[in-house]
């Protein structure tokens, strides 16, 4: 049975960041100088992550997503997937990845019990891709999408963060590609996290709202029809172009926040439980885990996290989470 928080939201979802390391340096996620990396010792060991996941499953959490940093850069990730997939009660195990290493791991991840992946892709232009990620190659991500499909990691969802002056002129091209290629693409509003500043003014001016993107697409390609994507049940609203194969989703944490439906907890790579992505409040699980906390004690800390979830984020009142960048929290 799932647990309700103080605002009657049912908490069924745990996002686990397995590493703070990443093989890309996306300009909106990390500052140019990078972030100081945690030492090996500061990062939760796999058995500690497994203990937390097991305790979470005992509280009715049935959905787990692995993220990072980049989850595929951590050695032994397939073994972790296999362990988590065997925990009774966890019935939807997924991963968010930039895809760079996915072709190497997709088949093994699927065999180990991963059900599906979300792949990040912000542009279809090779030079722009290199500029946004500061080091990546677009062709690698396109190959990753194909490898996920072939491995049966479905549905593959594509995450596209839209930022004014960076890639907001590509919404129509991306929507068209989603329709033609059968992608489940989701446009995500950029969130100001960890003091990452982008050139060009206030963060409010850099956010491109879901409504604005939708308008651009409808002006160019015609009205979108409501659609559903059965699996995941996340905050995206889905549409499709008439006759198109794929779906086009919108995730609008800024312009139409969905805090009222928030069902998640987050665990950072260094073992901090974060009840809200956009609040710096965290509960330390690592020290208790290393003191030998048993399942009941971990469950009690998770319940404290559930009980501490705020009613909603306060970004629009100029409260910004400053302590960590997105690559540390896991997005």
Site for ligand SAM, rule CB under 6 A: 22, 28-29, 67-68, 70, 96-98, 120, 159, 161, 188, 190-191, 193, 326-327, 330-331
- Give 31 or 288: the residue with its C-beta nearer to ligand SAM: 31
For ligand SAM, the closer of residues 99 and 305 by Cβ is: 99
CB 329 within 8 A of CB 274: yes
Under 8 Å between Cβ of 49 and 285: no
Closer by beta carbon to ligand SAM, 153 or else 301: 153
CA neighbours closer than 13 Å in the CB half-sphere of residue 298:
25
Locate 299 and state its tokens: 């469950």
In the bound state with ligand SAM, the residue whose beta carbon lies nearer, of 237 and 299, is 237
Judged by CB, which is closer to ligand SAM: 179, or 185? 185
Question: In angstroms, what is the minimal distance from the CB of 225 to ligand SAM?
Answer: 25
Distance of CA 133 to the CA centre of its chain: 16
- Token look-up 């439906």 returns 261
Give the 3-state secondary structure percentages of the chain, helix then strand then coil, rounded to 5. 35, 20, 45
CB 148 within 8 A of CB 102: yes
Which class for 255: exposed (0-12), middle (13-18), buried (19 or more C-beta within 10 A)? middle
Could you give the CA distance from residue 8 to residue 57 in angstroms, rounded to a whole number?
19
Smallest distance, ligand SAM to C-beta of residue 40, A: 19
286 close to 272: Cβ distance less than 8 angstroms? yes
- Closer CB to ligand SAM, 253 or 271, in the complex: 253
CA atoms within 13 A on the CB side of 300: 7
Shortest approach of ligand SAM to residue 16 CB, angstroms?
Answer: 11
CB within 8 A of 119, min separation 6: which ones? 96, 97, 98, 99, 102, 141, 144, 145, 148, 156, 157, 158, 159
Q: Which is nearer to ligand SAM, 29 or 175 (CB)?
A: 29
Inter-residue contact 20 to 270 (CB < 8 Å): yes
Backbone angles phi, psi at 310, to 5 degrees: -70, 160
Q: Least separation, in Å, of the C-beta of 325 and ligand SAM?
A: 8
Nearer to ligand SAM, 59 or 251 (CB): 251
Q: Which residue is nearest to ligand SAM (CB)?
A: 331
Q: In the bound complex, what is the minimum distance in angstroms from residue 29's beta carbon to ligand SAM?
A: 4
Tokens (6 digits) for 165: 């002056």
DSSP class of 138: H
Residue 248's beta-bridge partner residues? Answer: 185, 239
Closest CA to 41 of 240, 222, 269, 230: 269
> Which residue, 54 or 118, has its beta carbon nearer to ligand SAM?
118
């Amino acid at each position: 049975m799932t647990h309700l928080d103080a605002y009657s939201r049912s908490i069924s979802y745990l996002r686990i960041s397995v590493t703070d390391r990443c093989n890309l340096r996306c300009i909106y996620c990390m500052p140019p100088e990078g972030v100081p990396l945690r030492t090996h010792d500061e990062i939760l060991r796999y058995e500690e992550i497994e203990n937390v996941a097991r305790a979470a499953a005992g509280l009715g959490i049935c959905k787990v997503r692995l993220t990072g940093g980049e989850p595929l850069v951590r050695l032994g990730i397939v073994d972790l997937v296999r362990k988590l997939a065997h925990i009774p009660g966890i019935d939807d195990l997924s991963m968010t990845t930039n895809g760079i290493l996915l072709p190497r791991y997709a088949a093994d991840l699927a065999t180990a019990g991963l059900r599906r992946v979300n792949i990040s892709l912000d542009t279809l232009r090779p030079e722009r891709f290199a500029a946004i990620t500061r080091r990546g190659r677009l062709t690698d991500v396109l190959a990753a999408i194909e490898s996920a499909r072939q491995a049966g990691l479905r549905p593959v969802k594509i995450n596209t963060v839209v930022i004014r002056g960076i890639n907001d002129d590509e919404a129509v091209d991306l929507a068209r590609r989603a329709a033609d290629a059968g992608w489940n693409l989701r446009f995500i509003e950029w969130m100001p996290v960890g003091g990452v500043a982008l050139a060009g003014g206030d963060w409010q001016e850099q956010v491109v709202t879901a409504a604005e993107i939708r308008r651009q697409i409808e002006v160019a390609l015609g009205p979108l029809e409501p659609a559903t994507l059965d699996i995941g049940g996340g905050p995206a609203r889905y549409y499709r172009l008439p006759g198109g194969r794929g779906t086009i989703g919108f995730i609008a944490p800024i312009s139409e926040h969905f805090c009222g439906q928030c069902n998640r907890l987050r665990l950072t790579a260094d073992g901090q439980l974060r009840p809200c992505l956009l609040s710096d409040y965290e509960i330390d699980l690592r020290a208790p885990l290393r003191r030998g906390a048993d399942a009941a004690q971990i469950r009690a800390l998770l319940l404290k996290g559930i009980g501490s979830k705020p009613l909603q984020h306060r970004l629009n009142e100029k409260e910004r989470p400053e302590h960590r960048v997105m690559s540390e929290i896991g997005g």
